[in-house]
Amino acid sequence: MRIVYHLGAHGTDEERLLRCLLKNRQVLGNQGIVVPGPARYRALLRDTAITLKGQAASRDTQALVLEQIMEEDRADRLILSWDNFLSFPQWALKDRLYPSAAERVRAFTQIFPEIEAEFHLAIRNPASFLPDLFARQRDKTYDQFMQEADPHDLYWSDVIEDVLTQNPGVPFTVWCDEDTPLIWPEVLQAVSGHAPGTVLEDADDLLASLMPPEGLERMRAYLRDHPAQTVAQRRRVVSAFLDKFAIPEKIEVGIDLPGWTEDTIRMLTESYDADVARIRAMPGVTFIAV
């Protein structure tokens, strides 16, 4: 068995990936892919990790935890999704992004030290990620939130490198949240590991949130009449319909933080693009690109 950890991050898919996989539990289950409800494992894993204090769980403990997570007798893949795997929002920023991510992820994988693991993570431009993360804070001013961290010196590659260092050899799949509307089928397949040709119910939910019903139906009709022969062809069709029908307020992200200017956003975006290039070149990382 392999355990798949969908690590988030905060402000990316907002549980949409998990909801889609849960709607397709039966078809995935027929392929040996188990998708438990989050109430079965999130608090359980957190409490177990705290009890273990970073130590590897015994076989008895592993069996007990798995018994509480899974109803099935066996599985080829077990999908666990939680945007707090890396950190709770209030501790996601301190001098750097997710400073405790490596330690936390290692603590979770030590609950199942004898089971192969696999990591998946959506990253997001700090120019929009930081405002979203700030909105998730409780009773913090902007200065308290930033804690003297420099927004121009925050890199996802540091987070990923730290996690890989603590978990050597674990496959790590990464994608940009901004690209998700175009690569959503590939993201779903990468996380679930379902067989090629598998039809997932409500796999268009993400696009349905970005364009009106008329636009979505016209896109579906076009793809029925002109089936895409390649991933690239499908992406071009989706991109064209988004250009024509996307709801502006769903696509455009308003950014309003103290002291931020258009130059701030431009510089953060340029830094993010360079960081993405670093991540794509990292050993052990599979990057889902447009």
What's the number of domains the chain is made of? 1
Tell whether the model's pLDDT for residue 215 goes beyond 80: yes
Distance, CA of 277 to CA of 281 (rounded, Å): 7
Q: What percent of the chain has pLDDT over 90?
A: 93
Tell whether the model's pLDDT for residue 253 goes beyond 80: no
Measured CA to CA in angstroms, residue 44 lies from 36, 167, 233 at distances of: 13, 21, 43
* pLDDT at residue 183, as a whole number: 96
Distance, CA of 141 to CA of 132 (rounded, Å): 14
Tell me if 145 is assigned to some domain: yes
To 10 degrees, what angle do helices 126-135 and 262-280 make?
110
Tell me if 253 is assigned to some domain: no
- DSSP E strand stretches across 96-220: 96-97, 116-123, 172-176
Tell me if 121 is assigned to some domain: yes
Tell me if 251 is assigned to some domain: no
Tell me if 238 is assigned to some domain: no
Q: What is the tens place of the pLDDT at every residue in 61-86?
A: 999 999 999 999 899 999 999 999 99
Tell me if 249 is assigned to some domain: no
Tell me if 220 is assigned to some domain: no
CATH number of the CATH domain containing 159: 3.40.50
Query: CB-hemisphere CA count at 13 Å for 4?
Result: 24
Return the structure tokens found at 285: 């990382």
- Confidence band, pLDDT 50/70/90 cuts, at residue 251: confident
Tell me if 212 is assigned to some domain: no
Q: Structural domain of residue 184, as residue ranges?
A: 2-200+258-288
* pLDDT at residue 144, as a whole number: 95
Q: What is the tens place of the pLDDT at every residue in 119-132?
A: 999 999 999 999 99
- Confidence band, pLDDT 50/70/90 cuts, at residue 23: very high
